[in-house]
Amino acid sequence: MAAKISVLGSTGSIGTQTLDVARMHGLKVTALTANHNIELLEKQAREFHPIMVSVSDLGAAAQLKIALSDTDIDVFCGEEGIIRAAVEETSDTVVNAIVGVAGLLPTVAAVRAGKNIALANKETLVAGGSIVMREVKEKGIKLYPVDSEHSAIFQCLQGCPPDSLDKIILTASGGTFFGKTRKDLENVSVNQALKHPNWSMGAKITIDSSTMMNKGLEVIEASWLFGCSDDQIEVLIHRESIIHSMIRLKDNAVIAQLGVPDMRIPIQYALTYPNRLPSPAAALDFSEITSMSFYKPDTETFSCLSICRDALRRGGLYPTVANAANEVAVELFLNEKIRFLDIADIVGNAVASFDTDIKDPCLEDILETDKETRLKIRQNF
Ligand code: NAD
Ligand code: MG
C-alpha cells in the first residue's frame, strides 16, 4: 500500500479526487504539481504540507512563492519541477494525473527512480507504452491503472492464472452523442460536446469521450497493461457506466467489476492495492438500477475508435501519431477553430499519411514524432 505520494496534476479532476482518498486514509503527500491554478494549489499545499510544489512557468512560481512564503515548502516550475516531483526522494508512489503526452517524461522519470506508479495519464502508455512497460519490468516496480476500465480489468484478473484470459470487454458509455449520425454531428458546439452523461472529468477527456477517441486510446492502453492484441479487446457500449469493464476467461466465464461511476474507487485501489478500505465513494444501490443496456459501437460515426485500432495493429510510432494529432485537434475544437467531425478527420489523416520503418522506437523517436505530428497539423490552422 502506498504511504507517501507525489501527485502530478493535483488540481485537476483526478488530482483532486486523489487528494480526497489521501485525506480519508491519512496518506502523506510529498509533492504536488499543477499548470496554472495557483489558488487551488496553495490551498492543497497548506492542507497537505508537501515538501515541494511545482507550477508551469516562472511567473506562476513567483506568485506561489510569495503566497507560501510563511511555509517551508519549496516551489519549482516547468518541466524540471514536474520531474523533481516525480522523483521526490521521500515518495514511494507517483500518481500521474497530468493530461496529455506531457505526462510521459514524468512517468519515465518516476519509473527510473524506482517509484510505483498510479497511472491515470493514459497518453503515457498510448505514446510510450513500449518504453514504459519495458522499464517497469526491468525496475521491478508496480504500475497500477487508475483509468476505471483498466482498474476494473485489473480487479477482475485478481486470482486468475496468467494464461486464463480470453478477452477483455472494455465498456464505454458511448459519450454524449451516442445514437447520433454524422449528419447530426456536423454543427455540434463545444458546450454540447462537453456534457458527459455519467462522469465529471477534465475538458480533454470529455471531448475524447464524445468522439470515442477515449475508447480508442483505452484499447491501446489495455493492450500494454494486459499484454493483449487488438482482437482480444472488445468494446461494448454500456450506457449506465455501472459495469466498469469485464473479462471473459477461456472457459467462457465472465467476470465484471461494478460500482457507482466515481473515480475515487479506482484511484483508491491503485493506492491501497491489494487492500480494500472504506471509500469516499457511495455504495451501489441495485434497487435504483432499472436496467442496464448494451450496444455495439457505431464505428462509422465514431471513426476514432477504428483509427486507434488501426494504429495499434501497425504498432511502433503509429499510436504516438494518433495521440498527438488528437491532442492538437481537441485543442483546436475547444478553441472553436475546427468543427467536431474535423477531429476524427485530422487524426485519421495523420495516421494514414505517416510512414516509418521504425518498429521499436526509443524515447527520442517518440518525442520527435509527437512534436513533428503537432507541427504538421498546426501549420494548417
Ligand atoms: P484535468 O484537465 O482535470 O487535470 C489535469 C491536471 O494536469 C491539472 O492539474 C493541470 O494543471 C495539469 N496539467 C495540464 N496540462 C499540463 C501540462 N502540459 N503539464 C503539466 N501539468 C499539466 O484532467 P483529468 O480529467 O483529471 O485527466 C487527467 C488524466 O487522467 C488524463 O490523462 C485523462 O485521460 C485521465 N483520466 C481521467 C479521468 C477522469 O475522470 N477525469 C478518468 C480516467 C482517466
Ligand atoms: Mg476510462
Domains defined for the chain, CATH in brackets: 4-145 (3.40.50.720), 150-378 (1.10.1740.10)
Pocket flag, ligand 1, residue 19 (CB < 6 Å): no
Q: Which residue bears the cell 521491478?
A: 140
Q: Which ligand places an atom closest to the C-alpha of 244?
A: 2
pLDDT reading at 2 higher than 90: no
Average pLDDT over residues 94-109: 98
Q: Which pLDDT does position 197 carry in this prediction? A: 80
Does the predicted TM-score (pTM) go above 0.95? yes
Average pLDDT over residues 332-345: 98
Best mutation site among 17, 205, 211 for ligand 1 pocket (most ligand atoms within 8 Å of CB): 205
CA of 380 to the centre of ligand 2 (A): 31
C-alpha–C-alpha distance, residues 168 and 170, integer Å: 6
Q: Dmax over Cα atoms in the chain, in whole Å?
A: 62
Pocket flag, ligand 1, residue 106 (CB < 6 Å): no
C-alpha–C-alpha distance, residues 231 and 239, integer Å: 23
Straight-line distance from the first to the last Cα atom of the chain, in angstroms, rounded to the nearest whole number: 47
Coil/strand/helix, residue 86: helix
Q: Which ligand places an atom closest to the C-alpha of 150?
A: 2
Q: Which pLDDT does position 153 carry in this prediction? A: 98
Q: Which ligand places an atom closest to the C-alpha of 262?
A: 1
Ligand 1 closest atom vs CA 121 = 32
User: What average pLDDT does the chain have?
Assistant: 97
Q: Which pLDDT does position 139 carry in this prediction? A: 98
Pocket flag, ligand 1, residue 18 (CB < 6 Å): no
C-alpha–C-alpha distance, residues 379 and 344, integer Å: 18
Pocket flag, ligand 1, residue 35 (CB < 6 Å): yes
Q: Which pLDDT does position 98 carry in this prediction? A: 98
Best mutation site among 14, 101, 119, 132 for ligand 1 pocket (most ligand atoms within 8 Å of CB): 14
Residue 91's identity, in one-letter code, is S
339: confidence class by pLDDT, cuts 50, 70, 90 = very high
Residue 3's identity, in one-letter code, is A
Q: Which pLDDT does position 270 carry in this prediction? A: 98
Phi and psi of 246, rounded to 5°? -140, 165
